[in-house]
């Protein structure tokens, strides 16, 4: 990491409403949207991000049937227009949900799923060593990590993989968000030096635009070897944009090589 980024104090304001309760909106005035209105609101925020991180809460009617992708498909459908012709690197991709989405939708996007253990990955490798396989040369529209991350040392590389207007998306269960991520975000707004090293490193390279909570994701599993299972889960996705200072700094570093 450059000295410029290390010395920089990121400007960040916590969202006015958070998702601190799994049984209902943290703020009684918070609007819970459906898939259609939620998508419209999300795309509006991404097209015109404000100075503060915003929140969108969606009660989805989408169902996940016989598709072991961690319940991420409803969120990918919400992103739909942003994924047309998009080039995506999905870290810890598991069963490669982006590739499944592109195949289902007949989309012309391109997914590069990276996972050490899952054979559904396009590249079976240690995510922490991905820079040895794919050069971080700003070729991706999206870099994503749903549920896992190799550690704060990688955020610099994640940023360099993105185009100047690219997005980084981190997704997790609502429990992980409520217990770990939201408190760290709140603390960063007032006393950033007291937050986790991972949060401080992420904020040096990325600026959070919006947190999207998707409630009521129905999972329906029908494994011949086991009893059929139906249950619902909630997930939260934080969408970041690349900090302009990071983009400028990376450009200067590449020119000096």
For residue 191, pLDDT beyond 50: yes
Least confident of 72-76, 116-120, 143-147, 154-158: 154-158
The pTM of this model reads 0.83
Domain ranges in the chain? 3-256
The CATH class of the 3-256 domain is alpha beta
Q: Which tokens belong to 57?
A: 């809460």
**pLDDT tens digits, one per residue of 11-54:** 555 554 455 444 444 444 567 889 999 999 999 999 999 888 88
Q: Are 248 and 205 in contact (CB under 8 A)?
A: no
State residue 252's pLDDT score: 43
> Mean pLDDT score of the chain, rounded to an integer?
79
**pLDDT tens digits, one per residue of 203-257:** 888 988 999 999 988 887 666 566 667 788 899 999 999 987 654 444 444 444 4
Question: Phi and psi (nearest 5°) for 242?
Answer: -70, 130
Least confident of 152-156, 164-168, 211-215, 251-255: 251-255
């Amino acid at each position: 990491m450059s000295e410029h980024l290390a010395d920089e104090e990121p400007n960040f304001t916590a969202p006015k409403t958070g998702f601190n309760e799994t049984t209902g909106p943290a703020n009684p005035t918070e609007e819970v949207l459906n898939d259609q209105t939620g998508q419209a609101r999300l795309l509006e925020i991404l097209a015109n991000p404000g100075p503060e991180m915003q929140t969108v809460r969606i009660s989805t009617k989408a169902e996940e049937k016989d598709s072991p992708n961690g319940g991420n498909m409803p969120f990918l459908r919400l992103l739909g227009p942003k994924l047309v012709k998009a080039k995506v690197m999905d870290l810890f991709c598991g069963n490669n949900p982006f590739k499944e989405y592109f195949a289902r939708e007949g989309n012309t996007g391109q997914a590069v799923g990276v996972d050490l253990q899952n054979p559904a990955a396009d590249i079976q490798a240690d995510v922490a060593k991905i820079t040895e396989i794919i050069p971080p040369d700003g070729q991706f529209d999206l870099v994503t990590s749903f549920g896992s991350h190799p550690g704060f040392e990688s955020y610099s590389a994640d940023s360099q993989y993105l185009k100047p207007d690219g997005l980084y998306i981190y997704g997790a269960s609502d429990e992980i968000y409520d217990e770990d991520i939201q408190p760290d975000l709140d603390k960063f707004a007032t006393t950033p030096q007291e937050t986790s090293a991972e949060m401080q490193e992420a904020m040096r390279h990325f600026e959070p635009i919006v947190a999207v909570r998707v409630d009521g994701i129905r999972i329906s599993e029908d494994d011949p070897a086991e009893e059929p299972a139906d249950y619902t889960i909630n997930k939260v996705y934080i969408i970041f944009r690349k900090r302009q200072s990071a983009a400028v700094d990376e450009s200067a570093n590449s020119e000096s090589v």
